[in-house]
């Protein structure tokens, strides 16, 4: 098990390094001068020069890359060009919205998908199965931003149960904050839940066709008992993979939903920073997202090993 | 027991009375968030939209109609040669941190703005100031190197507000001014809260709390307004929805003027635009009203030159470039382009540019000019078009007030180089007699229209959507500001 974890750690570090180089180069070659963006149409050349100096935009590519990486290793993400506040602070503030939103959506998606998938699999071919599969087909097909706008129209504008967007703030209390995340979380969760339910069903059906299930049935277990005791655990591997992928998507994919609901989360911050050429923020946030995705994949790998002991030996 | 009943009853009475009073807080939404909160070191209009006149004040200020009113300077004297301005400051003014505002702060602010290493986006406003002298606590003397007829106007800009040396260090996060509202809180990406300044030197505002909320997506803005999450949307970004608000008794729609001359900027140094006949041909090929109707849903006033129609010195020159495709074709043929030509049309993000660009491209095609459209982000636009001058045509709204002077800068991105205009502009700066100034301004407007430097399209309008009970909002936008000092709720 230890060797397995160490092996995974090495590949994690390598991926992070490669990602940092790629991100830095891509962001730096994008045309656009942050100083010009800030000072607008009437700025004079000497003013632009003075501002570039203040922002630390002078220096070679290599100097800027190494100071960025070294700073990040010490937890210093630099200072935003436009906001002039430490990037780490900005990320931490925004994280308090994006992370709970992703977790909320993930919880909703799992809570919907597991029962739906299991129910459909256990009643294979029945009306229930067809109904659930039809709904999930629809859930995958509907773009989540469109569904989000539809929900705003119904629940915010017509019924007035929710606000159309914005975030109440955690200082307003847990429930008001959760309430302002509810519509966005549902919008994010719907397509994910649909995919997950379909994976759950097909994976369960696959395992239900295995020999050991026939053996279990032969020794007298009902179909339901065999499903719960033997098939479910074995069907979980592909489901875990999908959940891992989805979590990364939920963090990064919040960009559009955060804009629809004008939530001050990470996604919206990236959006604004790209337009303003606040490169240091873009680099650091993208790097952080890469780190989160890689870390989640690492956690999923470890989870496989926990669910399936054979993997521990093989690695 | 009796006593308790009484207490309960009076508490009830108080809440009822409180409910009948008009609301004293307001939530105002706008599309763009300020990058930081220092109006003296960035061009972002969003900074002024939140802070101008609310938190920060200058020596003079813009009133809603664009006229210049006394601000922190209650009166001033101008010497006969136009070189010395003596300002008398208001008494008893304190900054929000409690320190007194006096002539030393004025000297500090103006010297900082015009310093060598200044990051002021409008540094040119202060070019003619030779020295600033604090005569006594209440008196400031400005000495100019040359007469400048627009000095009082220049000092009204958000970039010329008075700041204090004690609080300058953290101004970008903690703005400390002298205005009727104090800065309370900024949740980045979401909102900024201002509170009423109880020690304000002038007339106290009716509102106790103002919340600025930032909603960039037009659809989200529509939903927020309809769900009544916000009370006002200043600069509402989706003109196509305006009829829906007009029909709804819960809302009022206010359409005002801005200082934004929206123009088809033309690269005057690039062939074939270096030929005045080609530029005139384009001016006749453009149907302004079709662009206003198609791109702006009818909002906007046609202009024939680079000047705001609500300005007293404006001359209506739209007739000089009336829509006449036949004439445009004839002019093109005269210039040697019977078969037309091809050029680039680079469009920044605002909808006036993106939607207007499609319509203009179609209109130009009618007379044989083919345009290759490319959509750019602002940062790209600044780099390629504004700085690199690598473009044929572009569409942009020049939102700075009274900015006809840019035509005297030959290295400005549309590269208009006319000695005649430059002389007129120099004469204008030196002139302080109002009548002569007007005459000069009219000549300047005529000259750029005759030379068809750019395609003059329309003056950008600013639609504001508000709840029906809100009163005292600025209708026009002489500068990008949401002056909340006079806003109140009607009971």
Which pLDDT value is given to residue B210? Answer: 97
SS3 A135: helix
- B123-166 pLDDT, tens digit per residue, is 888 989 999 999 999 999 999 998 888 899 999 999 999 999 99
Sign (positive/negative) of CA torsion B278, B280, B284, B286?
Answer: positive
Q: Which of A47, A157, A268 shows the shortest C-beta gap to B123?
A: A47
A160 with B227: Cβ contact below 8 A? yes
CA angle (B27, B24, B183) in 5-degree steps: 60
A275 with B377: Cβ contact below 8 A? yes
Structure tokens at B399: 């939102």
Query: What is the C-alpha to C-alpha distance for residues B367 and B353, in angstroms, rounded to an integer?
Result: 21
Residue B402 clears pLDDT 90, i.e. is over it: no
In DSSP terms, which residues pair with B258 in a beta bridge? B477
Which pLDDT value is given to residue A252? Answer: 67
Domains of chain B, residue spans: 58-168, 260-460
Residues of A in contact with B224 (CB under 8 A): 163-166, 262
Those residues with Cβ within 8 angstroms of residue A53's Cβ, 6 or more apart along the chain or in another chain: B117
Residue B9 clears pLDDT 50, i.e. is over it: no
**For residues B264 and B279, is the Cβ–Cβ distance under 8 A?**
no
A42 with B120: Cβ contact below 8 A? no
> What band does B476 get if pLDDT is binned at 50, 70 and 90?
confident
What was the ipTM of the complex prediction?
Answer: 0.74
Which pLDDT value is given to residue B7? Answer: 43
B36 with A84: Cβ contact below 8 A? yes
B400 with A42: Cβ contact below 8 A? yes
CATH number of A88-314: 1.10.3720.10
Domain B58-168 fold is: Dipeptide-binding Protein; domain 1 (3.90.76)
Q: How many CA atoms lie within 13 A of B47 on its CB side?
A: 26
Query: What is the C-alpha to C-alpha distance for residues B486 and B165, in angstroms, rounded to an integer?
Result: 29
Residues of A in contact with B112 (CB under 8 A): none
Number of neighbouring beta carbons within 10 Å of residue A127: 8
Which pLDDT value is given to residue A312? Answer: 65
Mean pLDDT of chain A: 84
CATH of B260-460, one of 3.60.40.10, 3.30.1330.60, 3.60.15.10, 3.10.105.10: 3.10.105.10
Residue B11 clears pLDDT 70, i.e. is over it: no
Domains of chain A, residue spans: 2-73, 88-314
* Of B82, B69, B71, nearest in space to B130 by CA: B82
Residues of B in contact with A83 (CB under 8 A): 35-36, 172, 188
Number of neighbouring beta carbons within 10 Å of residue A228: 14
- B288-330 pLDDT, tens digit per residue, is 999 999 999 999 999 999 999 988 899 999 999 999 999 999 9
- A283-299 pLDDT, tens digit per residue, is 888 888 888 888 888 88
Residue B14 clears pLDDT 90, i.e. is over it: no
Q: Roughly how many angstroms between the first and final C-alpha of chain B, as a whole number?
A: 37
């Amino acid at each position: 098990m230890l060797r397995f974890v160490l092996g995974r750690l090495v590949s994690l570090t390598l991926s992070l390094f490669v990602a940092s180089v790629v991100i830095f180069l891509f962001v730096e070659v994008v045309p656009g001068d942050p100083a010009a963006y800030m000072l607008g149409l009437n700025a004079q050349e000497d003013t632009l020069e003075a501002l570039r100096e203040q922002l630390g935009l002078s220096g070679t590519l290599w100097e800027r890359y190494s100071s960025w990486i070294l700073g990040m290793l010490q937890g210093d993400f630099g200072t935003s060009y436009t906001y002039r506040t430490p990037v780490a602070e900005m990320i931490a503030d925004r994280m308090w919205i994006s992370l709970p939103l992703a977790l909320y959506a993930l919880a909703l998606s799992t809570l919907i998908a597991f029962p739906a998938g299991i129910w459909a699999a256990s009643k294979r071919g029945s009306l229930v199965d067809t109904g659930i599969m039809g709904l999930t087909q629809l859930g995958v097909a509907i773009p989540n931003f469109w569904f989000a706008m539809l929900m705003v129209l119904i629940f915010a504008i017509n019924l007035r149960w929710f606000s159309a967007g914005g975030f109440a703030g955690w200082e307003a209390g847990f429930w008001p904050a959760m309430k302002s995340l509810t519509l966005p979380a549902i919008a994010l969760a719907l397509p994910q839940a649909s995919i997950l339910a379909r994976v759950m069903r097909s994976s369960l059906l696959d395992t239900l066709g295995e020999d050991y299930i026939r053996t279990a049935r032969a020794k007298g277990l009902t179909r339901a008992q065999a499903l719960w005791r033997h098939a479910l655990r074995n069907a979980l591997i592909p489901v875990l993979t999908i959940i891992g992928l989805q979590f990364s998507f939920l963090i990064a994919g919040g960009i559009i939903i955060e804009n629809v609901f004008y939530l001050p989360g990470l996604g919206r911050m990236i959006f604004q920073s790209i337009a303003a050429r606040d490169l240091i923020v873009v680099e650091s946030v993208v790097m952080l997202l890469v780190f989160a995705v890689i870390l989640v994949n690492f956690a999923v790998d470890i989870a496989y090993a926990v669910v399936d002991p054979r993997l521990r030996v093989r690695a | 027991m009796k006593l308790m009943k009484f207490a309960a009853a009076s508490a009830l009475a108080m809440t009822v009375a409180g409910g009948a009073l008009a609301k004293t807080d307001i939530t105002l939404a706008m599309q763009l968030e300020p990058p930081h909160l220092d109006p003296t070191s960035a061009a972002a209009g969003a900074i002024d939209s939140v802070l101008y006149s609310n938190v920060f004040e200058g020596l003079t200020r813009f009133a809603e109609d664009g006229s210049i009113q006394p601000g922190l300077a209650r009166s001033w004297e101008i010497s006969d040669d136009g070189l010395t301005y003596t300002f008398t400051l208001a008494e008893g003014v304190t900054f929000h941190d409690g320190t007194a505002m006096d002539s030393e702060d004025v000297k500090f602010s103006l010297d900082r703005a015009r310093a060598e290493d200044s990051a002021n986006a409008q540094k040119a406003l202060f070019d003619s100031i030779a020295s600033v002298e604090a005569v006594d606590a209440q008196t400031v003397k400005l000495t100019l190197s040359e007469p400048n007829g627009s000095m009082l106007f220049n000092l009204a800009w958000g970039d010329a507000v008075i700041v204090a040396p004690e609080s300058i260090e953290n101004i970008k996060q903690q703005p400390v001014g002298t205005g009727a509202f104090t800065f309370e809180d900024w949740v980045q990406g979401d909102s900024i809260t201002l509170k009423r300044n109880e020690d304000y030197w002038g007339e106290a505002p009716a509102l106790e709390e103002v919340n600025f909320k930032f909603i960039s997506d037009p659809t989200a803005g529509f939903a927020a307004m309809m769900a009544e999450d916000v009370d006002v949307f200043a600069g509402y970004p989706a003109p196509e929805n305006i009829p829906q608000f007009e029909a709804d008794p819960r809302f009022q729609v206010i359409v005002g003027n801005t200082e934004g001359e929206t123009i088809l900027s033309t690269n005057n140094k690039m062939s074939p635009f270096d030929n005045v006949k080609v530029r005139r041909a384009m001016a006749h090929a453009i149907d302004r009203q079709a662009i206003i109707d198609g791109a702006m849903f009818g909002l906007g006033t046609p202009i024939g030159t680079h000047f705001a129609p609500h300005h007293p010195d404006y001359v209506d020159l739209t007739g000089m470039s009336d829509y006449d495709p036949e004439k445009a074709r004839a002019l093109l043929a005269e210039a040697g382009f019977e078969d037309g030509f091809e050029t680039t049309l680079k469009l920044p993000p605002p909808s006036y540019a993106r939607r207007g660009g499609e319509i203009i491209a179609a209109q130009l095609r009618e007379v044989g000019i083919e345009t290759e459209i490319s959509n750019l982000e602002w940062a790209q636009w600044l780099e390629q078009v504004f700085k690199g001058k690598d473009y044929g045509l572009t569409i942009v709204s020049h939102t700075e007030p009274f900015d006809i002077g840019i035509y005297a800068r030959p290295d400005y991105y549309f590269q208009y180089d006319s000695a005649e205009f430059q002389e007129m502009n120099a004469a204008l700066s030196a002139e302080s007699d109002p009548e002569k100034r007007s005459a000069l301004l009219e000549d300047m407007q005529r000259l750029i229209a005759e030379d068809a430097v750019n395609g003059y399209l329309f003056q950008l309008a600013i639609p504001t959507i508000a709840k029906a009970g809100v009163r005292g909002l600025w209708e026009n936008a002489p500068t990008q500001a949401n002056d909340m000092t006079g806003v109140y709720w009607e009971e």
